[in-house]
Structures are given as structure tokens and as C-alpha cells.
Amino acid sequence: MSIHMNRKRQIEGTTLVIFGASGDLTSRKILPAIASLWDQEQLPNEFSVIGVARSPLGDEGFRRLVMESAASWDSIGTYIENFHYLQGDYTSISTYQSLTKLLDSIEQTRQTGKSRLFYLATIPSLFGTISSLLGESGLSQSGASGFTRIIIEKPFGNDTSSALKLNSDMHRSFSEEQIYRIDHYLGKETVQNLLALRFSNAIFEPIWNRNFVNNVQITVAEQIGVGHRGGFYENAGALKDIIQNHMLQVLSLVLMEAPALMTAESIQNEKVKVLSAVEIPSIAEVASRTVRGQYVSGVINSEEVKGYREERDVSSTSKTETYVAMRLAVDNWRWAGVPIFIRTGKRMPKRETQVVMEFNRAPHLPFIGGSARQLGPNRLILRIQPEEEIKLVFGAKVPGQDYNIRSVAMNFSYADTFKEVSWDAYERLILDALLGDRTLFLRSDEVIKAWEIVEPIQRAFSDLDFPLYPYAAGTYGPKEASKLLQSTGHYWHNS
């Protein structure tokens, strides 16, 4: 696992090549992350960036875009000459020939080795083509003086077979060790802390299993709607957009066995093992374990917001889900019989990502004359965002003569405890890719396992008769999602 420290001297004079340089991801995430890394002296002076895109920006236009995107970082002006632009068609070999020349000339001018990091920030359907052409033009090979790596972003395919195809397309030009698949949730400090909590403390391990844990709940609630991303979201939906990647990643960190070492291989092996143990429902079983919903207009923060079907670029008869709740089972010794509930939705009352470990209740309450009616089960709540906290909920005696017991919480808050500033996920991940640390990236087999889990659900959803429940924006999803838990005697914990 990467450790925060000044690693400036460890990073060679690399050239970062961003395909999709005029796009949203580049200006919102990649350029600010680069600027911030420079500001914190994590990157050497010789570090260069080449933006590749179809628009006729030129070096000047690209540098303007860099200044706008990274305006809040002081040193960006100092390094602006390190940014270059190449206009080109991603599907034409001549673009890659020009890129080779530009790379050679930058490396010669700056007298660096040939370390190159390609970042595919384009639409995913171009990943296969770009990596093949990088291969064909000889750019995918690592030379004697430096490394060659490639970063791609989710979605990694659309289903198991397209994900397998993407893997094999990329493997024709790049080895698995050269490929860095980003899931930005793994770059979050609180997600990494799931491992620290579980594997640096002795008190949790003995109770982290079916003998003590009654159920596990993972929630990724978003307050935002689809905004200007309607066109993209229509083909994605909550299942592919959040569950297949971010939620199954969080789930695997919460439920996996302890890795022998904090190395990429050990951690990825354990994640694959637990994902392999997730029971894959048959298409017929999906209906009794899954609730799908779509938001209609409602009120959030006293403001009227529109329904999903009224959003820009969304069909007025859309069947795309903006909410999914599911009951999963993990068939191994640790988790057999423990329901794992997961849910995600847009336009929920508040943004909230959390994991709730709910423990079994005390077998008998010996108190006479008092009341334990307000006593809930013990819970360990791992709050990932926006609050970064860990809460332990337990029973305590209310002051007074009788034994009135009530649930109270003990709280650890990141903000109150640490003065160190949390890094943005992209800063962490780009730096790790530059350092060759693959711990926080996905291996090809993890991606395939995750698709295998969601595929039957995806197929069940494509049946027009599969229920799609409306829920008002500003609520915690359709009431059917509560019934999903009530049927087994459980209920959702909202903060």
C-alpha cells in the first residue's frame, strides 16, 4: 500500500499522455490532480504532459485549458511549458506516429529516460482501438530506460463477454502488469481505512464472521441526479454505474480474508476469492432479491427537482434504474447465512456512503423493571463519505433509578483526529501508477468476477416486465426496498 510521503525523487521524468485531453474527466479530475501533485512537490521538474484529442486546440489552447482547470494550484503557471498538445484521430496510425516523434523530442529536450504513462480518458469503446494502435506503433513496449504503463477507467466492458474481449484486446499490446484499471473508490482514504481497521486491530477479527455478525449493509446514496450525463446514464443505470464496480470493491474489502502482506497480489487474490464466493442468483431468483427503482420529481433541500424521465437526454419512457437494492449471500465459512444488503440510488435525501456491520443481539436481557425498548442491535458503522467516521453503537444505562437502556454511539472522526489533509483519490492513484504500485487498481480477473455477479441481474432487468418502482426524489428509494429486508426481519439503517 502506498504511503504518503514526499516521493518526489522516486518519480522519474515521465511523460503522461492523456487521450481525451479536451474531455470532462481530464479537466475535472486529471489536470487538477497533476497540478496539485506538482504543488506538493511530488513530481519532478522534467515531468511532461501530452494531451491528445481531435479538437484543434494547439499547445496554446491546451495550456489555457490547463490553467482554467487547475487555477487553484499555485505552481501550475511555473510548469505550463511542460504541457503539449497533439491533435489527432484516435483511430488513425498516423496519430501514433506523430506521438512517437513528439515523445522522442520531449524526452531529448528534457533529457529524461523513456518512462511513459498513457491515460485513456476517452469513451470506453475506444480503449481496445487505442491500445492496439499503441501496440502496432511500438509505443506499448517498455524500453531499457524507463517504464510504459496504461491507465483505463471504468466501465471495463458492458458485461462478462465484452469485459473478456477488452482484456484480451489490451493484452495483445500490454502485459497485465502494465495495465492500471482505476476504480476511484479505492483511492478514497476511508475505503483504504477499511483494511487498516480490519487488519491492524486484533479486536475485530474474532467477531467478523457469521457467529457474531447478523447482517451487513452497504449504502452508496447520492443526492445528485444524473445532471448533464443523461445520455451516458441511459445506457448504464445504477447496477453498472455503481454496483458492478464501486460497491463490489467496497464489499470485497469488508468481507475478504486477511492478506498475508499489503501487496497488490495478496490483496487482489483475496478480493477475487471473496467475489468468487458471492452466490450468483439465477435469473428467476433475481426478482425476490432485488428491487429496482427510478426517481420521479420531488423535493431536496426545500427545492423542487425533476424526475429522471424529465432530465436532459433521457427518454420519457426510460426504464433505466436510478436505484437498486439487493440481498446477496457469500458462500464461504466466514459468511454463510449472513445476508449482505446493498443499495445505491441517485436523488436520495443526502449523500452518504457507509458500511453497517450489524451484530447479533444479546441473547437475554436480565434487567427487571426498566426498559430496553429503545435498544437497537450493536452496530459498527464505517462512514466513508461525506462524513469520514467510524461509529460503534451499543446499549448504555440512562441515568436514573431503573435500568433503562438506550442505544448510544462512540465516534471516531477523521477531521477531529488527524491534521493531515486527505488526498484526492485521483492524486493518490496517478501517483501510485507513476510509482508502479498496483495495490489500489483492479486486476483483470476481479473485473470479470464482478461482471459475473451482476450479469443475471442485468439480464433480469432487461425483461420489460421486471418491476421498476418509482420513488420521489428526496426519499430513501421505493418502499419495496424496505420490504426486501422486512421479509427476513431486518431493516435499513439510515443515519
Residue nearest ligand BG6, Cβ-based: 241
Nearer to ligand BG6, 114 or 246 (CB): 246
Closest to ligand BG6 by CB, 191 vs 330, is 191
In single-letter form, the type of residue at position 8 comes to K
Is residue 107 a contact residue for ligand BG6 (CB under 6 A)? no
Asked whether 483 and 477 are in contact (CB, 8 A), the reply is: no
Minimal distance, residue 247 CB to ligand BG6, in Å: 11
410 Cβ contact partners less than 8 Å away, ≥ 6 residues apart: 391, 392, 394
Residue span 391-430 as binding mask against ligand BG6, x where in contact by CB under 6 A, dash where not: ----------------------------------------
Contacts with ligand BG6 in 24-53 (CB under 6 A)? none
Amino acid sitting at position 455: E
Region for residue 111 given its phi and psi (left: phi exceeds 0; alpha: psi -120 to 50; beta: otherwise): left
For ligand BG6, the closer CB: 107 or 241:
241
Q: Cβ closer to ligand BG6: 240 or 443?
A: 240
- Minimum distance of ligand BG6 from residue 109's CB (angstroms): 37
Between 76 and 194, CB nearer to ligand BG6: 194
Contacts to ligand BG6 from residues 238-267, by CB under 6 A: 241
- Give the active site residue among 171, 246, 364, 493: 246
Q: Least separation, in Å, of the C-beta of 465 and ligand BG6?
A: 27
How many whole angstroms separate alpha carbon 77 and alpha carbon 66? 9
**Exposed e or buried b for every residue in 437-459, given b needs 16+ CB within 10 A?**
bbbbbbbbbbbbbbbbbbbbbbe
Q: Closest separation between CB of residue 383 and ligand BG6, Å?
A: 13
C-alpha cell at 254: 469488508
- To ligand BG6, the closest distance from the beta carbon of 222 in angstroms equals 5
Q: Which is nearer to ligand BG6, 324 or 330 (CB)?
A: 324
Q: How far is CA 456 from CA 197, 201, 308, 349, in A?
A: 33, 37, 25, 30
Task: Please state the closest distance from residue 188 (CB atom) to ligand BG6, in A.
Answer: 7
Measure the CA–CA gap between 429 and 425, rounded to whole angstroms. 6
107 or 222: CB nearest ligand BG6: 222
Of 38 and 451, nearer to ligand BG6 (C-beta) is 451
Burial of 55 (0-12, 13-18, 19+ CB in 10 A): middle
Residue choice 46, 107, 222, 388 for contact with ligand BG6 (CB under 6 A): 222
The reply to whether 364 belongs to the active site is no
Residues 362-391 contacting ligand BG6, CB under 6 A: none
Residues 191-210 close enough to bind ligand BG6 by CB under 6 A: none
Rounded to a whole number of angstroms, the minimum distance from the CB of residue 123 to ligand BG6 is 13
Q: Which of residues 126-145 bind ligand BG6 (CB under 6 A)?
A: none
Residue 45 CB contacts under 8 Å (≥ 6 apart), including other chains = 13, 79
Shortest approach of ligand BG6 to residue 241 CB, angstroms? 5
Applying CB under 6 A, what is the total number of residues that bind ligand BG6? Answer: 2
Task: Provide the 10 A C-beta neighbour count for residue 428.
Answer: 23
Active site residues: 246
Interface contacts to ligand BG6, rule CB under 6 A = 222, 241
